[in-house]
Amino acid sequence: MFFKNVTIHRLPAPWAVSAEQMEKWLEPHAFQPANTVEMQRQGWASPRDNGSLVYTLNRQMLLVFRAEKKLLPGSVVTQFTKVRAQELEEQQGFKPGRKQMRELKEQVTDELLPRAFSISRDTRVWIDTVNGWLVIDAASKQIADDVLGLLVKSVGTLPLSSVRVSRSPVSAMTEWLVSGEAPTGFTADQDTELTSPGTGNATVRYSGHALEAEDMRRHIESGKQCMRLAMTWEDRVSFVLTPSLTLKRITPLDVIKESSDPTATNADEIFDSEFTIMTGEMAKLFTSVIEALGGEVDEQKQAA
């Protein structure tokens, strides 16, 4: 249930939108499988496969963005196009020109599409209407952008903003490594990446290796900056912090796994329990990460 890689955005807190209203917004954009002449489709799917496009509990919403794509390798299209081009050359007595080759390629693509395999990918979206978080479970920026694009199209006037903090994650992570001290409530784990922003982008990576303060200082004094840092929050959740404030490789630790509701027996009860735990823990984690980075910047006050 826990999201693995999250892109975080801000909504008003609280955000006065009901699950019923969200359902109405999403319905016109519900996922429908691609037809025989389409390369891809995207839309909203049911998080619990029960027909509802919004799963909600304690004013926390879960949505699922589904993207379907036909697998039609370019090499296959090229191979079939060459065969057609040879046949056309024999018929007309000369090689096809650029326009004819383009038309042949389009024709071959249209003919092969109905025979192409389809793959689908689901991306989960969590909306915390109480604390004002919109969280996308995606490591790829492109996928996150696709999800946001459809959400904005569905909702129309989505009051969304970026999470802006007082301190750059890069400078903060670099300072933590130099001092050998993580912020209160956090520990630095044994994975990090330091990169020199100058020509060549020289990079040093540590994986499963103790981050000795002296070694870190030596790298940083040579001009490197920390671009990734594995951390653990309150002995409850481990993750990797990045310059864009995305959290990757999120893993709940044993203390959280053991807190699941022991009375939950069926699939729905277990799902409810796990969703409640995840949303509660991650909302607190986000708040702690932002505090460690100097707190949020109030864009309205800054503009004034």
- The tens digit of pLDDT for each residue in 133-183 reads 999 999 899 999 999 999 999 998 899 999 999 999 999 999 999 998 999
Going from N- to C-terminal start, the domains of the chain cover 6-72+116-162, 74-114, 169-303
CA–CA distance, 183 with 234 (Å, rounded to integer): 11
Which pLDDT score is estimated for 75? 84
What does residue 230 show for φ and ψ, rounded to 5 degrees? -80, 135
Say yes or no to pLDDT of 71 above 90.
Answer: no
Question: Cα dihedral angle (91, 97, 102, 106), rounded to 10 degrees?
Answer: -10
Q: How much is the average pLDDT of 56-79? A: 88
**What is the model's pLDDT at position 106?**
86
Quote the pLDDT of residue 209: 87
Whole-number pLDDT of residue 37: 67
In this prediction, residue 228 has a pLDDT band, given cuts at 50, 70 and 90, of very high
Q: Rounded to two decimals, what is the model's pTM? A: 0.83
Give the span between the Cα atoms of 53 and 230, in whole angstroms.
Answer: 34
Could you report the per-residue pLDDT of 117-145, keeping only the tens digit for each? Answer: 777 899 999 999 999 999 999 989 999 99
Q: Spell 166-193 as b/e; 16+ CB within 10 A means b.
A: eeebbebbbebbeeeebbebbebbebbb
The mean per-residue pLDDT over the stretch 80-91 comes to 84
Q: Give the Cβ contact number of residue 77 at 10 Å.
A: 17
Q: What gap in Å lies between CA 250 and CA 4, rounded to an integer?
A: 5
Q: What is the mean pLDDT of the chain?
A: 90
